[in-house]
Amino acid sequence: MNRILGVAITLIWLAAMAALVRRDVAPFWYAEEAPAQSDQAGRFQSSIVDRTGRRVGTSWLTSLPGPQLITVRSTTVFDLRTFLTALPNATTLVLDADLTYELDGRLLEFSFALHGAGMPINITGERLGRDFACVANVGDLKSSRALDGMLFEQLSETLRPFTRLDGLFVGRSWRIRLLDPFALVRTGSVEFTARLASVVGRETIAHAGHDVDCFRVETEGAVAWVDDEGKVLRQEVRIPLLGTWTLTDEPFDESALKAVLTSIGRGFQSSLPQGRWREGDAASDENPPSSPRVSGPGRTEP
């Protein structure tokens, strides 16, 4: 009797392990390479609103391919006063990131800087052979460690998991690595979370007054809708303790970005040369942006 019970328990355990491997481990084994960075220059902007519809920030992304490397810069600003009313001194939080890729999409180096957290926070990483040498400065604390380069096929932030996704098709999946800036503020710890992103199907969404057929891309805690050109039109991100935030593509406001970069002491210059703006951008050398009045972090008034 005991032998039969032991065999039954073993079979149940093996079945449970097989289901676990199939659900949580196998998808990472069979994941494909992450979508390569676009070889076209471009700049994009997304509004950020919370679950009540209040605008809490803005995110900008610029991409500049060169002869050998592709540089991607993102800047995201949050108006802390909109969701941290209990902190009277809260103003703005700015996350500034630079990523450098080879033309084949291989990440070479990255840097993240968080401004407005009450202490200097910056993280840098450089590929040395197979791994990344990562250095984190959080206030007066400095730490270094090596990170597996295989896990950095696509690097982004939990607040904006997806930037630009070319070459999608239903069924495609890849690994992404996300930095959690709120964890930096809460605990001072550097957390790069590995997740699996998958194209689960196609959906039609309303965007800018039109119905657009998009790829639906999902990962843990986030879902994005991407058009056939690889542009992320909308993404919904679940933020712990703050609910779901929605990022929606909107016209690029160069004046607002310049104001944010100036506020953190970083110089600004239009890095995209004449004639290389992607079609559909709101501002270009042939169609220069207006000069709106900045009324808050990432917000403008006509």
Which pLDDT belongs to residue 89?
60
Residue from 103, 101, 83 nearest 93 by CA: 83
Residue 75 lies in a domain: yes
Residue 158 lies in a domain: yes
Residue 289 lies in a domain: no
The DSSP code for 14 is H
Residue 56 lies in a domain: yes
7-42: burial string, b at 16+ Cβ within 10 Å, e else: eeeeeeeeeeeeeeeeeeeeeeeebeebbbbbebbb
Residue 224 lies in a domain: yes
Which pLDDT belongs to residue 267?
59
Residue 274 lies in a domain: no
Long-range pairs of 117-121 with CB within 8 A, sequence gap ≥ 24: 117/93, 117/184, 117/185, 121/184, 121/188
205-228: burial string, b at 16+ Cβ within 10 Å, e else: eeeeeeebebbbbebebbbbbbbe
Which pLDDT belongs to residue 1?
61
Q: Could you give the number of structural domains in the chain?
A: 1
Domain, as residue range, for 121 = 42-267
Q: What is the pLDDT along the chain (302 residues), one digit of tens a residue?
A: 656 666 556 556 545 444 433 444 444 444 467 676 666 778 999 999 998 899 999 999 998 888 889 899 999 998 877 666 544 565 788 999 999 988 877 889 999 998 887 788 899 999 888 888 889 888 888 888 887 776 566 788 888 899 889 889 999 999 888 887 777 666 666 777 888 999 999 999 999 999 999 999 999 999 999 999 999 999 999 987 778 999 999 999 999 999 999 888 875 554 443 333 343 443 333 333 333 333 344 544 43
DSSP strand pairing (131-138 vs 141-148): antiparallel
Which pLDDT belongs to residue 103?
82
Residue 19 lies in a domain: no
CA 99 distance to own-chain centroid:
11
Neighbours of 155 (CB within 10 A): 22
